[in-house]
Amino acid sequence: MRKLYDVIIVGAGSMGMSAGYELSRRGLKTLLIDAFDPPHAQGSHHGDTRLIRHVYSGGPDYVKLALRADELWQELEGVSGEKLLERTGVLNLFDPSVYSYADRFQYSAELGVPFEELSTEQVRDRWPSLRVPDSYRAMYEPNAGLLYSDKCVTAFRKLALQTGARLLTDTFVTRIEPSASFVTVHTDKGVYAASSVILSAGAWFRTLEPFVRLPIRAVRKVVGWFEPGTTAYDADRFPGFTFGDETGGYYGFPSVGSSGVKIGRHDTGGEWKPGEELAPFGTAPEDEEDLRRALDAFLPGAAGRLLRGSVCKYEHTPDEHFIIDRHPEHANILLAGGFSGHGFKFASVVGELLANRIELGRWGREIERFSVSRFSASGISHSQGGVPS
């Protein structure tokens, strides 16, 4: 069979579309395949906005990646002509008896990331609309903010197509057949081949079993937009935020235009599998009640009428760190998944990493922590078959 493409990307969401643009602008003949029509509501990128921040726990490698991702988002803004990033700042409120921010402060200070450690009194003075327990501490990052996630994916898509990539939408992959020289991808609309393949199927990785089994668990997540009773929560006055204690961890966004204050919960969530219906927002009373309780506790003036609710999917690994690696048995197949609810901000740099590996044979950065080999039972299958469940 002729090698029709240099690269085929299975899964054209945030990571896949970013890689597609990066590869096609480097002159590689690229085919993107998605089961839906991105941007869409079947993955992990919809819902208008995602936080972007640089003060990160887990090691300096995350901080370095976040800083490079920010540079690439700014570049994407310039090339696309679209407004993709808002510097609202991000405020992290935490109970020091539950969470330690010492490592975040250390890594960020060493790498020159601006941030402020604030007392509860300083937080209340700066943002009087916040209710903060006396025992809490805060960290404010002024250069952080939000990304317009759907617009980001749209920008990647538009530029990928303009630079020569091809996109197949509403197309299901039914089998992947690797060989030493190329990889054949069977779909319900035809058969395609390429020298290299990227698998970036997100919450849909299970549809690629048994060819590849990764320790990724998809869970249902809910977010809600609430009507604030004051302009104090508008994006020009109020930052993005995270807060948490022993009961749970939450994140949110100021009101952009008339959007309302958006809030979601990072922990919890029922497992979801491809083929199952994803229960819509409001199916369970706690979908709204839990979010409203959190607003009442910390942002009481924002807990007004529910404007809308939405559901999406997280794709968790056991340690909540990413998988970015080559397939251990097939060097011409790359894996990108398990972004565990904190990956979107990195989509721009993940695309660059994947393109580097394919074009140059190296990642270009230290990403050993994202190796699939860290899982004792990686689940990488020896089978070359696989039909979606």
List pLDDT tens digits, range 272-283.
999 999 999 999
By C-alpha distance, which of 57, 50, 85 is closest to 314?
A: 50
Mean pLDDT score, 18-28: 99
62: pLDDT strictly greater than 50: yes
Does the active-site annotation cover 268? Answer: no
**What is the overall mean pLDDT for the chain?**
93
Residue 337 in contact with residue 203, Cβ under 8 Å? no
Q: What pLDDT, in 10s, does the model give residues 306-316? A: 999 999 999 99
The verdict on whether 266 is a catalytic residue reads: yes
Catalytic residue among 104, 313, 321, 345: 345
Q: Which of 40, 213, 266, 365 is catalytic?
A: 266
Tell the CATH superfamily of the 5-45+150-213+320-374 domain. Answer: FAD/NAD(P)-binding domain (3.50.50.60)
Catalytic residue among 50, 217, 316, 321: 50
Domains 5-45+150-213+320-374 and 90-142+218-316 share a fold: no
* Residue 200 backbone phi and psi in degrees, to 5: -135, 55
User: What interhelical angle do 14-25 and 149-162 show, nearest 10?
Assistant: 30
pLDDT beyond 90 at 33: yes
pLDDT band, residue 354 (cuts 50/70/90): very high
Mean pLDDT of 277-304: 96
Per-residue pLDDT, 190:
94
Active site residue 342: no
Residue 386's pLDDT band, with cuts at 50, 70 and 90, is very low
What's the average model confidence in pLDDT over 69-91? 99
Is 312 tagged catalytic?
yes
**Is 64 assigned a catalytic role?**
no
Query: What's the pLDDT at 7?
Result: 99
The 3-class SS string of the chain reads CCCCEEEEEECCCHHHHHHHHHHHHCCCCEEEECCCCCCCCCCCCCCCEEEECCCCCCCHHHHHHHHHHHHHHHHHHHHHCCCCEECCCEEEEECCCCCCCHHHHHHHHHCCCCCEEECHHHHHHHCCCCCCCCCCEEEEECCCEEEEHHHHHHHHHHHHHHCCCEEECCCCEEEEEECCCCEEEEECCEEEEEEEEEECCHHHHHHHCCCCCCCCEEEEEEEEEECCCCHHHECCCCCEEEEEECCEEEEEECECCCCCEEEEECCCCCECCCCCCCCCCCCCCHHHHHHHHHHHHHCHHHCCCEEEEEEEEEEECCCCCCEEEECCCCCCEEEEECCCCCCHHHHHHHHHHHHHHHHHCCCCCCCHHHCHHHCCCCCCCCCCCCCCC
Q: 383: pLDDT confidence band, cut at 50, 70 and 90?
A: very low
What was the pLDDT predicted at 378?
46
Query: Mean pLDDT across the stretch 359-385?
Result: 76
Catalytic residue among 30, 49, 184, 317: 49
Mean pLDDT of all residues in 2-28: 95
Please indicate whether residue 316 is annotated as part of the active site. no
Whether residue 92 has pLDDT greater than 80: yes
Beta bridge partners, 117, equal 139
The correct CATH number of 90-142+218-316 out of 3.40.720.10, 3.30.750.24, 3.30.420.10, 3.30.9.10 is 3.30.9.10
Lowest-confidence region among 52-61, 72-81, 143-152, 232-241: 52-61
Q: What is the phi/psi pair of residue 76, to 5°?
A: -65, -40
> What pLDDT does residue 78 have?
98
* Annotation says 345 is catalytic: yes
Q: How far apart are the first and last CA of the chain?
A: 28
Look at residue 3 in the predicted model and tell me its pLDDT.
63
Quick one: pLDDT at residue 132?
A: 97
Catalytic pick among 53, 54, 221, 262: 262
Task: Tell me which of 328 and 88 has the higher pLDDT.
Answer: 88
Reported confidence tier of residue 57, pLDDT bands at 50, 70, 90: confident
Domain boundaries, the chain: 5-45+150-213+320-374, 90-142+218-316
314 and 322 Cβ atoms separated by less than 8 Å: no
Return the pLDDT at 376: 65
Other residues' Cβ atoms within 10 Å of the Cβ of residue 205: 25
The residue from 152, 184, 207, 312 that is catalytic is 312
Q: Determine the Cα–Cα distance for residues 149 and 300; give it in Å rounded to an integer.
A: 27
| pLDDT per residue as tens digits for the range 205-250 | 999 999 999 999 999 999 999 999 999 999 999 999 999 877 889 9
Q: Could you tell me if 358 and 7 are in contact, meaning their C-beta atoms sit under 8 angstroms apart?
A: yes
> What is the rounded average pLDDT of the residues 372-388?
52
User: Which of 46, 221, 292, 313 is the catalytic position?
Assistant: 46
What digits encode the pLDDT tens for the residues 164-199? 999 999 999 999 999 989 999 999 999 999 999 999
**pLDDT band for position 380 (50/70/90)?**
low
**Contact (Cβ atoms closer than 8 angstroms) between residue 177 and residue 98:** no
